Chain A
Amino acid sequence: MADQSLRILLLATGALFTGITGFIIYFVVLYRNKQLKNKRDQEQLQSAFRQELLKTQIEMQEQTLLYVSREIHDNVTQVLSFVKLSLAMAAKGAEDHKQTKINESRELVAQVITDLRDLSKSLSFEHITQLGLVKTIEIETKRINKSGIINVSLSAEGDIYPLGEQRELVLFRIFQETLNNTLKHSGAKHLKIALQYHSELFNLTLEDDGDGFSAILLDKSKGSGLKNIENRATLIGATATINSSPGKGCCVKVSLNPLEQRLYADGYHPSRFS
């Protein structure tokens, strides 16, 4: 009887240690698989993020080239044609008239040089990296105001801090997309842009006084520019809220927690990807 109890006890001991060892081995294998799966998922997310970021970059370049081509056509070419005409007329005119025309032409050429310098700045894709989001939006605001199409006001609240190159790039693209929508479809006269920098929250708000649109239209238009805004915001861990109703304008608000990092977003500019 005693021997049998002892045998059972020894068997139980063996079973216990075998069980624990088996469990540990099983757990280690399971954990390793989980690690590998996580690594793969993260790589996929990173790849999707890079692709989306490159798409954003291309869109921004397209937008910039469109703007440059318009500027060259509507401004530079016109002014230079006028200068050419003015100089041709000066050649035929009297001496004092000639001097006035040359002075006028010189001023116009100086203006063209300034405009071309501004254009060359907007051609450089790196300027958002160098100047930061606020300054870049400020330049864009000045440009739009100068065109006279719409009156844009910009306000920045709180201590401005960098949000990271990639996030600022995406935020700027959201800004551009919203601005385009306002210019093309809203018929607005005023656009208010507000940037709020709080310690744990960043807000970018664009509010126009245009025609607005109904919520039904908003739902239908998912898949277009508005959906793009939401998707891009999600990409950088932000949330985009679009509020509009007929006759009451439109408000796009992008909120972001600057402390929350996305594992797949490494904070570098896409042009630096190896």
Chain B
Amino acid sequence: MSIISISYDLLLLTVFSVGIIRYKRLTIPFKVLTWSVLPIFLLAILSGIFSLKYKNNVPIMHLECITGYIFYSLTYYYLFKSKAIKQSIIISIVIIIVFFIINAVFLQPFRKVFPSNVTTPTQVLYAVFSLLLFKEMLLYPLKINIIKQSVFWYNIGVLFYSTSLFLMFGLGNYIGDHKLSPNFVSFIGYFWYFILYVFHILIGVSLLIDNKEITATDG
């Protein structure tokens, strides 16, 4: 395990600790978000172990993809005010779970192939949820400064994460098509970690500033 992956695990642990320490002061969506960090942290450790032991962490990727989607979309479920969007999120979770099973069994075998068939639509959905939430935020603006709003940081994090993944896919395909130097491959790996770092730091910031008392009085 490299230093960068260990520090990523430590970052996840720190973010989870921040959520747990401030748990009582968090609103429901950010309580859900706190619990999302724990399985992601455990799966990140398992991913490192699988990579070392079996030279294959694809099964963990499958699990990470579905776990992330369930937790992040549930967080959105609680953040949205619109009933229609909430309903759509629940339906999307059911569909994605069913598709995840079909994909893991028939299309992209659980132990062999990276679950791009599930990752791609979930990332698109994250981006859509993020943009819709930005729109809803404009419809119901709070009095407090936007920089001090947890939902703003979480939403930016998701938008950044979801849109960057397509770039990563592009870079992955590029690596596949061209024989590149190991330095370049490492650079891509670091870049992927950079995206994950930014995403989880933004989650950490949102957990750090979320306060149900402020949200209740302002809303």
Contacts and interface: CB of A to CB of B under 8 A. Distances in A.
Task: Report, as a range, how many residues of chain B touch the other chain.
Answer: 10 to 19
Nearest to B134: A27
A68 B177 CA distance: 97
A35 B141 contact: yes
Interface in A7-27: 9, 12-13, 16, 20, 23-24, 27
A6 B174 contact: yes
A268 interface: no
Nearest to A34: B141
A7 to B, nearest CB: 11
Given A6-B174, A9-B174, A34-B141, A28 B167 contact: no
A82 interface: no
Contacts, number: 37
B159 A5 contact: no
A39 B138 CA distance: 14
Interface SS of chain A: helix
Given A12-B170, A28-B146, A20 B163 contact: yes
A34 B146 CA distance: 11
Contacts of A125: none
Given A5-B178, A16-B164, A35-B141, 7 more contacts: A6-B174, A12-B167, A20-B160, A23-B159, A28-B146, A31-B138, A35-B142
A-B residue pairs, 3 tightest by C-beta:
A34-B141, A2-B178, A35-B141
27 contacts: A2-B178, A5-B174, A5-B178, A6-B174, A9-B170, A9-B174, A12-B167, A13-B167, A16-B163, A16-B164, A16-B167, A20-B159, A20-B160, A24-B156, A27-B134, A27-B138, A28-B146, A30-B138, A31-B138, A31-B141, A31-B146, A32-B146, A34-B141, A35-B141, A35-B142, A35-B146, A38-B141
Interface of B: 134, 137-138, 141-143, 146, 156, 159-160, 163-164, 167, 170-171, 174, 177-178
